[in-house]
Amino acid sequence: MTIEADTKQAYQEKAKAQLDKLNAQMDELKARSAQAKAEVRDYSAVQRRSLL
């Protein structure tokens, strides 16, 4: 490989690693969002029952 090809490959690997990290963070945020949504739904159901 030439220096240019090595450099290009290194940049591609770094970009892929960053993208993988961002995707993992997005997955974590989606899970936290789903958990918060479930908690709000449960809280709302309790509040509705207390009004009856």
> What pLDDT digit, counting tens, does each position of 3-41 carry?
899 999 999 999 999 999 999 999 999 999 999 999 999
Find, among 37, 14, 33, the residue nearest to 25 by Cα: 33
Q: Is 43 among the domain residues?
A: yes
Q: How far apart, in whole angstroms, are the C-alpha atoms of residue 45 and residue 39?
A: 10
Q: Is 8 among the domain residues?
A: no
Q: Is 11 among the domain residues?
A: no
Q: Is 28 among the domain residues?
A: yes
Q: Is 7 among the domain residues?
A: no
Q: Is 49 among the domain residues?
A: yes
- Full domain range(s) for residue 43: 18-52
3-state secondary structure of 26: helix
Q: Is 4 among the domain residues?
A: no
How many structural domains are present in the chain? Answer: 1
**pTM, rounded to two decimals:** 0.72
- For residue 30, CA distances in Å to 25, 41, 43, 44 come to 9, 16, 20, 21
